[in-house]
Amino acid sequence: MTDAYTRFVRSAPGRTIAKQLGLPRPSRLLRREDRPEPVLGPVVVLGRSAGADAITSLLLAEGVDVRRRFDELRTVGSVVAVLDEVAAPAELGEILLPLAGAMRSLAPGARVVSLSRPATGEDPARDAARGGVEGWLRSLAHEMRGGGTANGVQVADGVPLDAPSVLGALRFLLSARSAYVDGQILTVDGAEGTAPADRSRPFAERTVLVTGAARGIGAAIARTLAADGARLVLLDVPGAGTELARLANELRAVPVQLDVTSAGAGERLVAQLRERGLVLDGVVLNAGITRDKMFANMTPDRWDSVLAVNITSQITLMEALIAAGDALGPQPRVVSLASTSGIAGNAGQTNYATSKAGVMAFVAALAERLRELGGTANAVAPGFIETEMTARMPPLNRELARRVSSLRQGGLPVDVAEAIAFLASDEAGGIHGETLRVCGQNIVGR
Amino acid sequence: MNSSPRDALILGGNRLPFARANGPYAGISNQDLLTAALDGLIARYGLQGARLGEVAGGAVLKLAGDLNLTRESALGTPLDPRTPAIDLSKACATGLEAVVHVSNRIRLGQIDSAIAAGVDSTSDAPIEVSARLRRILHRASAARSTADRLKALAAIRPADLAPVPPRNGEPRTGLSMGEHMALTAAQWGITREAQDELALASHQHLAASYDAGFHDDLVTGYRGLSRDQNLRADSTLEKLAGLKPVFGVKSPQVAEPTMTAGNSTPLTDGASAVLLGSAEFAAERGLTPLARVIDARSAAVDFVHGDEGLLMAPAYAVPELLDANGLTLQDLDVYEIHEAFAATVLATLKAWESEEFCRERLGRDGALGAIDRTKLNPLGSSLAAGHPFAATGGRIVASLAKHLHARHVETGTVQRGLVSICAAAGQGTVALIESVA
């Protein structure tokens, strides 16, 4: 699904012209099917803390080629910078500078992951160091070449670095599944979560509901979770019934036809789940629409419909599922779709951005409710993803939207699906109310 | 074998929203439409890879290439390819006959599970060549040498090239179905108002059932349609009254034509499928039985010699069905009478209320009586939904079964429903369905 511009600059004449004119040349991103190995070796672990030792031992135990220094390495696949015990900004250089000399040895598709702690307000000097990590990380991500990415995991004080969510996040960010996640910091605030019995099928024995599953990102989410062994309940409007049925047939999933904005939709969903004896371990609230119009031309119909589908239906569905008492499993995972438009705003998308910003605040509040039920709620904010929706954008806007990210290209629906699969996994039990951007480090917002 | 045959249970159904002719489904083949309806049914009930006892289906308007229509459609679905299939044909009663056919097989223990289906597309109606051109082309095809072939083809005249669409009318009378119905409506004195009221009720009830989510597990959207395209939720008596009569207009026996586009079914495209099975099959698959097929009857009338109206056969079949099952006309909880035209339903009801008709034509002691009109087509019917000929039986049976089951659960009592479908060439099929807990 390579866009026309990328195909051009990868051709012989295109390469020369692009180089001469300094035009962007997007690298080919390697995804799960291209690079199935969980870690791109060799890995260098930076840092001197007990945490760094623990991470090194864990990686060694999994048979990864791990080093503590860059000397003698001509190529480096991944770097894990463990900064959990920095107490002052002056301590950062000692740990990070060795990477400077090795930047040119980074392999295509390299991964840099930082492990640090968040600023807490208790110690100004320590906070200055902890806060500084983010600046370094985001700048490094802007500098990474060849499709490489840099991301961070921020682990709350008191949560050990070998907690399931920390290791899960680390694995996700080191793998090819996070190909379109760049310049992001993921916060882990708890030690909850369990490792899967079978890493090749982490969703075995798990039932996940995906709304808006008939097409686009929803269908990609369904396929990714199915590949990971999940039992799926696919929901979409009756109008998409045949597409939904065909995907359900392909994935041996249960189709549920429901307009989530209709009266009593939550109760109808609960009734259908009960009738089939289904208990949900995961809920992916993906159903969403756009009705773009500059605010000056916004009509009540466009405004109301977007809010109804994109956020209100999520609220009512979750209320109904929680109130039912028997609809959710013991470690429920809720993942909702937000958008970079909701973070930074976008001309012509006042309605869409309102709904998506609402989603991010919703999952933060819902996370507290789900914590009581042993579960989590988080959101994924896609940047520019190549879908039917974005294909309808005017060509010039679309081209620009593609290029204003560090990875210089649009992402694919599967990239969003992989991030959702991570947040919905058993392991990610210690991540609450977070929004993970899947945007290739798009310049809008933070 | 047991003294009474086991039950054939209706387990669910699926259909496409019905589209108006030459609309959203224009150019889509019967096979594609039927496959889509089957795919939806298979997904809903988890039948991927299932080897069923039979898939029985049919289409009234078939292309020559549709000769194994149901089998080819089924092969295009995830069903096990070792599932047998059969094509049936009885004009508009095809769908109901398919249900009766498979339910008889299940009851006799010949099969444990089946799908009864039907499809029709008036947008892709078969267009043939004239008989003369057909003979010339056969001759040309059988010719051994190019010279002989050219000689055969040289016999073609321009007039031969005019395509021949399907006849719209009974072959033996030359009258269309609408014209026949206009005669019957005039004979029974069915008023314009009564017809329009019935049509309005059909639209209102169908719209309400969609709004209540009743069709969420009965209809899979297709090609941009999520509801039947012909449905006019905002229909009014004023709008219906404003339409011009289209049938009986030139007929001397019809003093005042009353049949319009609003109180007649339009030409539509669509497909439907119903899942049936034995109790064991349902239990094995964790499916909830909705209703069972109790009994069925067929009737035919001599419309050619004017002995009876073309669409009046069900008026004869229903009393037979009721007698055989020890029921009176009023012992039913729901009456699903296919709305070929509003006048068809009204003429049939009037016949049953008529002492003269019931004594002289049916040989009974008295009138069958009136029905409670609130129990007639409570979810709307063909006037609103449309009527792709062979798909109507499946539409009615699936929604009736679901409705009866829901009422049974609500009231705690067994609910009985009647299905009555008239068909071209003076035929009709009727069936009795009863809810199961």
Instruction: Report pLDDT digits (tens) over A312-351.
Output: 999 999 999 999 999 999 999 999 999 999 999 999 999 9
pLDDT band at A86 (very low <50, low <70, confident <90, very high): very high
Smallest Cα distance from B83 to chain A, Å: 17
Residue B64 pLDDT: 85
CATH of domain A207-438: 3.40.50.720
Residue B3 pLDDT: 66
Q: How far apart are CA B117 and CA A154, in angstroms?
A: 58
Instruction: State residue A62 phi and psi, 5-degree precision.
Output: -95, 10
Q: Which residues of B touch A207 (CB under 8 A)?
A: none
Residue A251 pLDDT: 98
- Does residue A446 or residue A248 have the better pLDDT? A248
Residues B369-388 as b or e (16 or more Cβ within 10 Å = b): eebeeeebbbbbbbbbbbbb
Closest of A74, A87, A144, A84 to residue A114, by C-alpha: A84
* Strand-pair partners of B20: B268
Examine the pLDDT at B2 and tell me if it is beyond 60: no
Q: Which residues of A touch B28 (CB under 8 A)?
A: none
Residue B279 pLDDT: 98
Residue of B nearest to A257 (CA): B216
Per-residue DSSP letter, B317: H
Q: In the block, which residue shows the tokens 């998409």?
A: A240
Smallest Cα distance from B79 to chain A, Å: 10
The proportion of chain A whose per-residue pLDDT surpasses 70, expressed as a percent, equals 100
Q: Which residues of B touch A255 (CB under 8 A)?
A: 43-44
pLDDT band at B116 (very low <50, low <70, confident <90, very high): very high
Examine the pLDDT at B92 and tell me if it is beyond 60: yes
Domain locations along chain A: 4-13+23-188, 207-438
- C-alpha torsion B123→B124→B130→B133, nearest 10: 140
Closest of A331, A313, A344, A319 to residue A441, by C-alpha: A344
For residue A178, what are the contacts with CB-CB under 8 A and spacing of at least 6? A111, A149, A151, A172, A418, A419, A422
For B258-265, what is the mean pLDDT? 95
Residue of B nearest to A260 (CA): B213
Per-residue DSSP letter, A308: I
A242 close contact with B: CB closer than 8 A? yes
User: What does the pLDDT look like over B348-361, one tens digit per residue?
Assistant: 999 999 999 999 99
User: What does the pLDDT look like over A188-202, one tens digit per residue?
Assistant: 999 999 999 999 999
| Side chain identity, residue A294 | M
- Does residue B127 or residue B418 have the better pLDDT? B418
For residue B199, what are the contacts with CB-CB under 8 A and spacing of at least 6? B235, B240, B262, B263, B339, B342, B383, B384
Q: Which residues of B touch A266 (CB under 8 A)?
A: none
Active site residues of B: 92, 387, 422
For residue B252, what are the contacts with CB-CB under 8 A and spacing of at least 6? none
Residue A394 pLDDT: 87
Contact A245 B217 (CB under 8 A): no
Q: Which residues of A touch B286 (CB under 8 A)?
A: 276-277
- Which chain B residues touch A if contact means CB-CB below 8 Å? 16, 36, 39-40, 42-44, 46, 48, 77-78, 213, 215-217, 219-226, 286, 288
User: What does the pLDDT look like over B51-88, one tens digit per residue?
Assistant: 999 999 999 999 888 989 999 999 999 999 999 999 99
Residue of B nearest to A263 (CA): B212
Nearest by CB to A239, which of B46, B48, B226? B226
Closest of B18, B19, B73, B69 to residue B42, by C-alpha: B73
Fold classified for B177-214+293-435: Peroxisomal Thiolase; Chain A, domain 1 (3.40.47)
Residue A23 pLDDT: 85
Residue A421 pLDDT: 98
pLDDT band at B167 (very low <50, low <70, confident <90, very high): confident
Asked whether B125 and B166 are in contact (CB, 8 A), the reply is yes
| Residue B347: both structure tokens together | 């003429």
Residue A1 pLDDT: 58
Contact B217 A268 (CB under 8 A): no
Output the CA–CA distances (angstroms, integers) from residue A420 to A178, A338, A369, A428, B343, in the order listed.
11, 11, 20, 11, 57
| Residue B210: both structure tokens together | 């969609």
Portion 263-322 of A in contact with B at CB < 8 A: 264, 268, 272, 275-277
Q: In the block, which residue shows the tokens 């998308």?
A: A349
Contact B288 A240 (CB under 8 A): no
CB atoms within 10 A of CB B65: 12
Q: How far apart are CA A140 and CA A134, in angstroms?
A: 10
Of A44-48, B247-251, B372-376, least confident by mean pLDDT is B247-251
User: Given A352, A362, A384, A422, which residue is catalytic?
Assistant: A352
Smallest Cα distance from A352 to chain B, Å: 23
pLDDT band at A135 (very low <50, low <70, confident <90, very high): very high
Beta strands in A125-170 (DSSP E): 149-155
Examine the pLDDT at A179 and tell me if it is beyond 70: yes
Nearest by CB to B226, which of A238, A249, A252? A238
Q: Which residues of B touch A272 (CB under 8 A)?
A: 217
Q: Which residues of B touch A237 (CB under 8 A)?
A: 221, 226
Domain locations along chain B: 177-214+293-435
Q: How far apart are CA B43 and CA B39, in angstroms?
A: 6
| Residue B146: both structure tokens together | 């190019």
Mutate to test the interface with B, among A215, A257, A261 (most CBs of B within 10 A): A257
Average pLDDT of chain A to the nearest whole number: 95
Instruction: State residue B75 phi and psi, 5-degree precision.
Output: -65, -20
- The A76-82 sheet, strands edge to edge: A66-67, A43-46, A76-82, A106-116, A149-155, A185-188
Average pLDDT of chain B to the nearest whole number: 95
The proportion of chain B whose per-residue pLDDT surpasses 90, expressed as a percent, equals 87
Asked whether B270 and B35 are in contact (CB, 8 A), the reply is no
Domains A4-13+23-188 and A207-438 share a fold: yes
Contact A245 B288 (CB under 8 A): no
Smallest Cα distance from B105 to chain A, Å: 27
Examine the pLDDT at B124 and tell me if it is beyond 80: no
For A95-119, what is the mean pLDDT? 96
Q: Which residues of A touch B405 (CB under 8 A)?
A: none
pLDDT band at A36 (very low <50, low <70, confident <90, very high): very high
Nearest by CB to B216, which of A258, A275, A277? A258
pLDDT band at A217 (very low <50, low <70, confident <90, very high): very high
Contact B40 A268 (CB under 8 A): no
Examine the pLDDT at B125 and tell me if it is beyond 80: no
Residue B392 pLDDT: 98
For B230-259, what is the mean pLDDT? 94
ipTM value, please give it: 0.89
B130 alpha carbon, distance to own chain's centre: 30
pTM of the model: 0.91
| Residue B348: both structure tokens together | 């049939």
For A169-195, what is the mean pLDDT? 96
> Which CATH number is A4-13+23-188's, of 3.40.1190.10, 3.40.50.720, 3.40.1000.10, 3.90.550.10?
3.40.50.720
* Strand-pair partners of B164: B128
pLDDT band at B169 (very low <50, low <70, confident <90, very high): confident
Contact A245 B39 (CB under 8 A): yes
For residue A404, what are the contacts with CB-CB under 8 A and spacing of at least 6? A442, A443, A444
Is A180 marked active-site?
no
User: What does the pLDDT look like over A266-301, one tens digit per residue?
Assistant: 999 999 999 899 999 999 999 999 999 999 999 999
Contact A238 B224 (CB under 8 A): no
Residue A357 pLDDT: 96
For B182-208, what is the mean pLDDT? 96
Smallest Cα distance from A76 to chain B, Å: 47
Residue B90 pLDDT: 97
Helices (H), B143-176: 146-153
DSSP 3-state assignment of B233? coil
- Does residue B161 or residue A81 have the better pLDDT? A81
For B172-199, what is the mean pLDDT? 94
Residue B162 pLDDT: 82
